[in-house]
Every structure is written in structure tokens, then in C-alpha cells.
């Protein structure tokens, strides 16, 4: 029987923790779970034994503990069954060798839950009062946001500097041509500040002989990467497949829980996906090595199984993420998986198999050519033996570094390096071209999901199983947005983070947060008492809460004078803080309600944002419609406001793909700030989708088709030509991509264009 997750939890609208009674939690039945609990209790009364088998981690142990509490009738034996893969063998073994509920594991989950509840429920109301209602603070979430804000501050403060390099195109007696780069001047690293310096070097070396000096060749070996743990799976799925962390975990959960393989029936394809151990079981090692031996030459199989080092914080409770049976190749299961699940399974399968393959071997060559006081160098790399690279390739992060480089090693093959021609000391080469090249230093890149997860893991912040939720929360709260796959903090995120750092320096301290994670791990291992851990944290934290309630800046009350004057009444304009950040308002409010959107420039000045005029006209007065932004996102408003208060949702230029509907798709925003796209004919047509649709040419009739979804998961809704024989794939109720629809929260002024109409 399925409990469908937790059955009890802390109350959603109260602290639910009795601090004075030793941080005693007050659990209550989760909404909708009362019937499930009654069914479990009824079944338990009829059974001599009950086996509790939730996921094998802290959350799973908490589920098992709470179910045991609610079904315990004093007569039925209650056991804990732990398995890491959903296969018949693993489940039989778990049932035959049951254990007791691990109280240390449960206490670690309970301590984390209470700790996060204390931080969230104590700080969030302060943010509602001082900044904006609906905001949240989190012990890990807010520190992750700090990393994003600090990276953005580095980018803003960065001053690009010019520098030059000198390169020579050269040829030898045999192909291929190659490139020589100036590396040293008078024995020191070459520093070329400007074009004049580069031109001087070019002139000094243009007609000089280029004679080979030292030639050094060496062979290097590269070990394969360890099989995936949770964090590395999220990172590599982001880099290779462009999956979000949440998407990766959702797909991995499906692969773990089981896929119907036709005659074979439902089978879990991978082991448990929440793990920080790179260990593979003896069974898995034997299976993978046998597979490699049968599919590859003997040179691809090492003499001994590979063992990978574990991180200091690795619990090693589970195996690494691997296929449950390596004989189920990606090709074999392809008919039973959708495109996304197939891509993730292939990634996991390739990584696990590659981890037990032979090293890749590469020959590196370095050629030095001294020209007077200048030293030119050419480098080349040639793959001698692919080894594990036969099935697994390196990928790069947002900073252009491969996974190997992130771990402190060189990539197997460097970009731009290839085979050099045969060169020997004393050989003269022909220079066909020599020139200076201009470069500019670059700021550090913004974090991608993979980069942020990597940084959180490196600093010991949070646990891999929480990264997906952290990343979703900072976006849902409007603290950060994704632009071209990287995170940029919003004004709200910047301001909130800065105020939290000022008022709660300990909570926002990266090292302190990492230390707390270590102590939670110690609770799991039975080394630290969970109540004492909470007590040491709470006493100084509560003092900070009281101080912040009184002293934290109140952005809602702040009024900043500006040089602007109101174009309606002539009064001075001031900067205020509202639901959507800073805005310009008339100081004569409430008599004059004139407002204007503003943006803060890099030098700290306020600039008024001009409305974007569209080619659409107002149906009431005929004036042009302009694009404005309100609390529900962008919308169209009459340029004649306030005389004309017409407004309507913003169309995106795509007809509604629902068969027979004459509406068009418009941009909207949910109550939580998530954009979605729905039909303008609502409520007659309830088409809704979370990813912005676009039009491409229909391959049947040459007109337009509606496309939606990320590159890895495109959906074609159908051709917009009514008589086109193309069959739409639209099915009502299946195309909404987990988007929270519009919800009314309180009353909204319909005469205020900032409300979205």
C-alpha cells in the first residue's frame, strides 16, 4: 500500500514547534491523508507483520517513523525494509533481512525540518512587514541567493582590461600547418598591454628565422569519472541535456520506481537517485566488468575494479546512481521510455559503465622556438587510446571549463590543439603569417543550474536532495530569473539579500550554514543530540529576530526625493517601494496617483522606463496601446490613461491551437509570479500552457505550426490552417505543464493600470 509520501507534518499556518518544551514538534495529518491513514490502520490490524519501505534516506525514515506511530496497535509486528533499487532481488532481500527504524536518521530529518521552520517562520513575517508580503527566507535558500547576488556584484564591479597576444601561422616540411604562440619575453611570461607593443614584437620577429629548439613529448593517462551521485547527475544533466535540477530528479524518480518493459513487466531501471556515495556494489562491479569484457577489446577492461574516493561529507549509505542491470542497454529500453527519460537513462548508463573502463591515453607534444628574446611555443595533443572516452565525453560548464578542469585536471584534448607535424631540434619552419590579436579580460560568468549546484556542493551548503527545491524556490519568489540559462538576481532578490545579511549575519554566513549541515550529519551518525543542536542555534537567533523586527530598514515606508516632477500636477516625484520593486510616485498622493516605472542604473541613478508603444489601438478611444507591467506581469493599456482605462492581456502573436477556437494566446502571470500562456477566449476556451509557444513552418502544407517546450521536449500542437491534413496532438487536460493558474487573492482595483486590468 502507498502512503503517497508523508502522512503528517508541521502545520502549514503555524510555527508548530514548542520551543520551551525542548523544541517539541506538533505534527498534524496532512490535508487529504486522513483516508490513507485509516486504510493503512485497517490493513495493519489484519496483518501479523507490517514492512515499512519508503525511500532509504532521511525523509523516507521520517515517513516510516510517522506511519509506525499512527498504525501501531500493540499487536502487529512493524519492521523497516530498506532497498536501493526496485528489483525483485533487492526487495526479497530487504523483506528477508528487515531492520528497525533508524532513530538517528529520523532525528536528523526532524532537526532539519524544525531548524528550517524556525528560520522561515521567524524571518519571513519580518520581510512581509518591511519589503513585500509573500516573501520567504530559508536557511539554505537565502545563502544560495547570496551566492548569486555576490557573483552579480563581481560582474558589475568588473572592469575589463585590454591585452594582446602574438601568434604565428607556421608550416614544416610535412603537414599539418600549426600555430605558434608567444609565451615569454626575456624569460618572463609575455605581457602585451596594447597594440603598439604587439606591433613592435611583430616587426622585431617578422623576418627572423624560426628554428625549432626543444621538442618534448609525453604520454598522459586520464582516469574515467566516478559514477553519478545526486549532485553530479544534476550538474551533468544540466550541461549535457539542458535539464533543470527538478526535471532531472523527477525523471530519475520515474526510472527508479519502475518502467513497464512489456513482457518483463515493471522494473526499476536505476538505483536510488539521492546519494552522495560513488561506491558500486560487488554485484554491480561484476556485472559491469563482464559487460565491458563482452562488448569491447580486452584493452578496455582494467585488471582490477575501480574504487573512487569519497568526499568528506559522503554518508556512503547508498550506492552511486547506476543501472540496476547493465544488460538493459539504452537501446534495449528505448521503446519503453519517452525522449527525456531515455536521455537521462543513457547518461546514467554511460557514466556507470565508463567508470569501470580503462584510462584514456593521450600524447602531448610541446615545441619551443626561440626567436632572439622571444619564445614561441606550439602544443599538440593526439588521442592514442580512447579508453572510457569510447562511450563518455567531457562537457563544459558556463565558464568554458570541462568537468576534468573543474576537478583540477587538464581536459583530455584541449580545444584548438591537434596533431603537430614531425618536428626535430634545429629544424627551420616557415612562418606564413604573424600578427597581434586583441583581447579583453572577461568578468566571471553568472551561475547556471549546474554551476550553482557545484558551488553549493563545494561549500557544503544544503544536501544534494534539496538543490532542486532551492533552485525552484528562489525563482518562484521572484528573487532570481533565468536569462540564457544563467541566474540573474532581481532587484527584489538583491535588496532582500542585503537586508538579511545586515540583520542575520550568522544565518546568511556561508561557513556557518556549512557547519550546520555537518552537525546535522553528526546527528544522523548519533554523535550530536538534536535538541542540543537546536538550542545552541536558537538562543542567539531569537535575539537577532527581535532586533530585526525593530531595526531592519522598512522599504515600504522609505521615500526618496528625485529631480523629476509630476507631469499631471507639477508636484515633486519620489521613489517608493511597491509589489514590483521601486517605482516613481507623485508626492501629492493620494490626491494625485501618478506613477511611473523606473530602473536603477549601474551608477545608482534612477531612470524612467518609457512605455513600449504597439501597433494595436484602443477599442474605446482609438489611441495606441502600450505595454505596461503590473503585479500580474505585462499587459496592454491605453496610452490615454487615466482618461481611458482600457487594458487587456498581452498577445504573443500565436493563434490558439485548440481545434475550432478563434482566440489567440496571451501572456499572463500566476499568483506566484510564474508566466503562462492561455487563450484570450477564456472562459469559453481553457487552453493553458507554461512554456511560451512559437510558430514554425508546417511540413505538410507550408503554413504555421504551434511549437512549445524546451529543445529537449518539443510539443507540436497543430497547424493553424484549418484544412491542413496535419493531425494536431492537442488533448485537453494533457498540455498544461504543471503551471499554477491564475488565482484571485483579495480585491483588485480595476481602474489602476498597474493591476493589469
Q: Which three cell numbers stand for residue 336?
A: 519503453
The single residue of 65, 272, 392, 538 carrying the catalytic annotation is 272
Distance between CA atoms of residues 288 and 281, nearest Å: 11
User: What count of other Cβ atoms lies within 10 Å of the Cβ of residue 241?
Assistant: 20
Distance between CA atoms of residues 732 and 658, nearest Å: 9
**C-alpha closest to that of 582 among 598, 560, 558:** 598
Sequence-distant (≥ 6) Cβ neighbours of residue 589 within 8 angstroms = none
The torsion angle over the Cα atoms of residues 440, 441, 443 and 445, rounded to 10 degrees, is 90
User: How does 165-178 read in b/e, with b if 16+ C-beta sit within 10 Å?
Assistant: bbbbebebeeeeeb
Q: Which three cell numbers stand for residue 626?
A: 502600450
Distances (CA, A) of 245 to 235, 258, 468, 659: 8, 20, 5, 34
Distances (CA, A) of 276 to 83, 359, 455: 16, 24, 15
Q: Strand, coil or helix: what is 701?
A: coil
**Pair 701, 667: CB distance under 8 Å:** no
Distance between CA atoms of residues 693 and 664, nearest Å: 11
Return the HEC string of 726-739: CCCCCCCCCCCCCC
Distance between CA atoms of residues 127 and 336, nearest Å: 48
Q: Is 272 a catalytic residue?
A: yes
User: How does 706-723 read in b/e, with b if 16+ C-beta sit within 10 Å?
Assistant: bbbbeeebebbbbbbeee
Torsion angles phi and psi, residue 10, rounded to 5: -65, 150
Q: Which three cell numbers stand for residue 630?
A: 503590473
Beta pairing class for 49-52 and 77-80: parallel
User: Is the bond preceding residue 301 a cis peptide, omega within 30 degrees?
Assistant: no
Q: Which three cell numbers stand for residue 545?
A: 529576530
**297 Cα distance to chain centroid:** 39
Q: Strand, coil or helix: what is 334?
A: helix
Sequence-distant (≥ 6) Cβ neighbours of residue 250 within 8 angstroms = none
**C-alpha closest to that of 658 among 574, 578, 718, 588:** 718
Q: Which three cell numbers stand for residue 722?
A: 484549418
Distance between CA atoms of residues 139 and 520, nearest Å: 13
**712 Cα distance to chain centroid:** 16
DSSP 45: H
**Pair 43, 65: CB distance under 8 Å:** no
Distance between CA atoms of residues 320 and 275, nearest Å: 6
**Pair 408, 415: CB distance under 8 Å:** no
Sequence-distant (≥ 6) Cβ neighbours of residue 536 within 8 angstroms = none
Q: Show which residues are catalytic.
A: 272
Amino acid at each position: 500500500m502507498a502512503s503517497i509520501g508523508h502522512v503528517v507534518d508541521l502545520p502549514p499556518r503555524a510555527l508548530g514547534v514548542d520551543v520551551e518544551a525542548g523544541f517539541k514538534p506538533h505534527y498534524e495529518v496532512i490535508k487529504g491523508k486522513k483516508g490513507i491513514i485509516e486504510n493503512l490502520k485497517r490493513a495493519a490490524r489484519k496483518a501479523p507483520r507490517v514492512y515499512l519501505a519508503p525511500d532509504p534516506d532521511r525523509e523516507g525514515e521520517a515517513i516510516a517513523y510517522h506511519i509506525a506511530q499512527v498504525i501501531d496497535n500493540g499487536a502487529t509486528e512493524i519492521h523497516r525494509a530498506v532497498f536501493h533499487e526496485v528489483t525483485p532481488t533487492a526487495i526479497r532481500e530487504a523483506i528477508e533481512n528487515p531492520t528497525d527504524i533508524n532513530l538517528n536518521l529520523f532525528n536528523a530529518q526532524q532537526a532539519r525540518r524544525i531548524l528550517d521552520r524556525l528560520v522561515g517562520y521567524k524571518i519571513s513575517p519580518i520581510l512581509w512587514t518591511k519589503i513585500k508580503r509573500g516573501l520567504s527566507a530559508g536557511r539554505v535558500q537565502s545563502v544560495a541567493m547570496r551566492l548569486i547576488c555576490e557573483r552579480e556584484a563581481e560582474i558589475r564591479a568588473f572592469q575589463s582590461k585590454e591585452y594582446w597576444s602574438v601568434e604565428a601561422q607556421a608550416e614544416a616540411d610535412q603537414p599539418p600547418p600549426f600555430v605558434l604562440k608567444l609565451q615569454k619575453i626575456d624569460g618572463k611570461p609575455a605581457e602585451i598591454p596594447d597594440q603598439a607593443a604587439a606591433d613592435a614584437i611583430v616587426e622585431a620577429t617578422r623576418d627572423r628565422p624560426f628554428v625549432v629548439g626543444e621538442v618534448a613529448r609525453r604520454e598522459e593517462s586520464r582516469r574515467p569519472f566516478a559514477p553519478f551521485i545526486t549532485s553530479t547527475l544534476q550538474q551533468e544533466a544540466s550541461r549535457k541535456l539542458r535539464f533543470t535540477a527538478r526535471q532531472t530528479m523527477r525523471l530519475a524518480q520515474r526510472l527508479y520506481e519502475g518502467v513497464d518493459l512489456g513482457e518483463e513487466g515493471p522494473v526499476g531501471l536505476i538505483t536510488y537517485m539521492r546519494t552522495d556515495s560513488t561506491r558500486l556494489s560487488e554485484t554491480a562491479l561484476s556485472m559491469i566488468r563482464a559487460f565491458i569484457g563482452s562488448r569491447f577489446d580486452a584493452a578496455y577492461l582494467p585488471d582490477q575494479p575501480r574504487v573512487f574516493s569519497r568526499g568528506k561529507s559522503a554518508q556512503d549509505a547508498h550506492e552511486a546512481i547506476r543501472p540496476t542491470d547493465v544488460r538493459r542497454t539504452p537501446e534495449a529500453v528505448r521503446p519503453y521510455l519517452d525522449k527525456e527519460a531515455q536521455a537521462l537513462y543513457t547518461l546514467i548508463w554511460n557514466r556507470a559503465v565508463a567508470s569501470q573502463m580503462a584510462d584514456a591515453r593521450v600524447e602531448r607534444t610541446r615545441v619551443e622556438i626561440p626567436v632572439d628574446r622571444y619564445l614561441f611555443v606550439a602544443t599538440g595533443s593526439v588521442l592514442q587510446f580512447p579508453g572510457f572516452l569510447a562511450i563518455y565525453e567531457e562537457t563544459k560548464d558556463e565558464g568554458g571549463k570541462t568537468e576534468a578542469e573543474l576537478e583540477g585536471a587538464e581536459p583530455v584534448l584541449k580545444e584548438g590543439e591537434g596533431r603537430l607535424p614531425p618536428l626535430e631540434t634545429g629544424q627551420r619552419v616557415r612562418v606564413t603569417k604573424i600578427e597581434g590579436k586583441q583581447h579583453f579580460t572577461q568578468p566571471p560568468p553568472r551561475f547556471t543550474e549546474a554551476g550553482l549546484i557545484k558551488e553549493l556542493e563545494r561549500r557544503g551548503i544544503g544536501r544534494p536532495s534539496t538543490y532542486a527545491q532551492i533552485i525552484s524556490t528562489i525563482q518562484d519568489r521572484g528573487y532570481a530569473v533565468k536569462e540564457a540559462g544563467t541566474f540573474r538576481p532581481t532587484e527584489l532578490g538583491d535588496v532582500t539579500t542585503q537586508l538579511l545579511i545586515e540583520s542575520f549575519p550568522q544565518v546568511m554566513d556561508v561557513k556557518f550554514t556549512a557547519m550546520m549541515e555537518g552537525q546535522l550529519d553528526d546527528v544522523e551518525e548519533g554523535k550530536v543530540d538534536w535538541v542540543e543542536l537546536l538550542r545552541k542555534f536558537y538562543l542567539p537567533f531569537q535575539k537577532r529576530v527581535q532586533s530585526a523586527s525593530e531595526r531592519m530598514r522598512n522599504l515600504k515606508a522609505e521615500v526618496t526625493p528625485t529631480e523629476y516632477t509630476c507631469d499631471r500636477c507639477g508636484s515633486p516625484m519620489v521613489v517608493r517601494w511597491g509589489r514590483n520593486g521601486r517605482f516613481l510616485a507623485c508626492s501629492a498622493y493620494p490626491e494625485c496617483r501618478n506613477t511611473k516605472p523606473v530602473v536603477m542604473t549601474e551608477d545608482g541613478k534612477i531612470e524612467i522606463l518609457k512605455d513600449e508603444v504597439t501597433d494595436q489601438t484602443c477599442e474605446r478611444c482609438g489611441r495606441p496601446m502600450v505595454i505596461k507591467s503590473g503585479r500580474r506581469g505585462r499587459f496592454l493599456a491605453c496610452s490615454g490613461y487615466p482618461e481611458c482605462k482600457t487594458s487587456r492581456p498581452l498577445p504573443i502573436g500565436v493563434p490558439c491551437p485548440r481545434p475550432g477556437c478563434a482566440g489567440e494566446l496571451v501572456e499572463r502571470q500566476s499568483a506566484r509570479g510564474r508566466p503562462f500562456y492561455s487563450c484570450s477566449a477564456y472562459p469559453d476556451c481553457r487552453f493553458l500552457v507554461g512554456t511560451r509557444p512559437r510558430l514554425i513552418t508546417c511540413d505538410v502544407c507550408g503554413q504555421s505550426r504551434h511549437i512549445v517546450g524546451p529543445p529537449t521536449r518539443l510539443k507540436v500542437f497543430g497547424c493553424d490552417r484549418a484544412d491542413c491534413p496535419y493531425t494536431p496532438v492537442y488533448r485537453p487536460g494533457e498540455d498544461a505543464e504543471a503551471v499554477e493558474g491564475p488565482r484571485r487573492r483579495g480585491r483588485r482595483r480595476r481602474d489602476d493600470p498597474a493591476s493589469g486590468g
